Amino acid sequence: MALSDVKCRNARPASKLVKLTDGGGLQLWVQPTGSRLWRLAYRFGGKQKLLALGSYPLISLAEAREARDSAKRLLLRGIDPAQERKLQKASAEDTFRSIAEDYVDKLKKEGRADRTITKVKWLLDFAYPTFGDKSVREIDPATILVALRSVEVRGRYESARRLRSTIGSVFRYAIATARADVDPTVSLRGALVGPTVTPRAAVTDPKALGGLLRAINAFDGQPTTRAALKLMALLFPRPGELRAAGWDEFDFESSVWTIPEGRMKMRRPHRVPLATQAVSALTSLREISGGGLLLFPSVRSGSRPISDNTLNAALRRMGYGKEEATAHGFRATASTLLNECGKWHPDAIERQLAHVENNDVRRAYARAEHWEERVKMMQWWADYLDELESKNARVKITGG
């Protein structure tokens, strides 16, 4: 006798499993625990098999019958319903979105910086509307190009280029985990408009640098912002490395700032020698913000650093346009003038900038860090900045 909603609803558990039959192999199993489960008994390839269809009442009688009929249609076509379900589940797990999420989790476990993770997720959001829910094996270069063009058409050529690279990383991860066979982005090399690279504005004329240093000293904004700009000039780290610095990173006895690998672009710790001027600036800063963990806490929250735009906004307030000076530009300033003076080995300058050598031989030599030379160089640089800041300073960088 066929089942009814009333029979299903009133089915009571017993000490043993109770099987209620509906017809066509559909059964409602009433477990001793009280749970009621739909099962479909069928034969395939000469073997008796069982397919789980869900639980009652989450799956109604009508829905269970519909699932039974769908399975019967597959059997008529010579397809095992259980195997078909496995394939569908595997297909769902192999979508670009699911693999991309796995890839992001991998980056997190590798200790990649939060900023890097956020950037990758931001880029992937451009791809999801076009092919996020497609199986990676179904995605071809033309499909990817549609997503890339949607970014490129906005004039964001660099973002489109990075998106192609990020999509390629996801596909290479899929290949490594046996979920894809090829990386379709390889065929798209050269298909995008190349971005025009605009170097970050930097002051490299000694006389103009002296003027900038005096403007920083006279800045009437937040004292912590003024201190940050002074330290950018003295130490020339990447702005994010200084912006999020904590007091526990500074050894004042040894005059060394150790930036942890988590905040370094190249993912390895970096030591910065502190000239006497830098120690003095830090000592004054500690009187202002030394009560917390961060050198430059946000005015809104002491647990968060100042924003990315704080230093550049301060330069704009001082009258320097974005084509004249940027916070990141202090690195180019130091690199240019330190190399031009001829006093320091280029490798020492590169190590102080925390650049990684592409050449294996040069990289092997760089492991020595040129530490002693860098200590002398950073003190010379601080003294030189003092000279430039003085209105009567000699502005010639070469010579004695």
Residues assigned a catalytic role: 238, 265, 328, 331, 355, 365
Q: Which of 241, 242, 208 has its CA nearest to residue 227? A: 242
Alpha-carbon dihedral 326, 329, 330, 332, rounded to 10 degrees: -170
Cβ atoms of residues 261 and 268 within 8 Å: yes
Q: How far apart, in Å, do the first and last CA atoms of the chain sit?
A: 106
* Tally of CB atoms within 10 A around 378: 24
d(CA 318, CA 90): 59
Q: Is 245 exposed, middle or buried (0-12, 13-18, 19+ CB in 10 A)?
A: buried
CA distances from 361 to 72, 215, 365, 366 (A): 67, 43, 7, 9
d(CA 58, CA 100): 31
The residue assigned the tokens 């601080």 is 382
Q: b/e for 135-169, b at 16 or more Cβ within 10 A?
A: bbeebeeeebbebbebbbeeeeebbbbbbbebbbb
Give the list of residues 6+ apart from residue 20 with CB closer than 8 angstroms, or none: 3, 7, 8, 11, 27, 28, 29, 30
d(CA 69, CA 24): 9
Give the list of residues 6+ apart from residue 169 with CB closer than 8 angstroms, or none: 103
Strand 18-23 vs strand 250-251: parallel, antiparallel, or unpaired? Answer: unpaired
d(CA 147, CA 127): 6
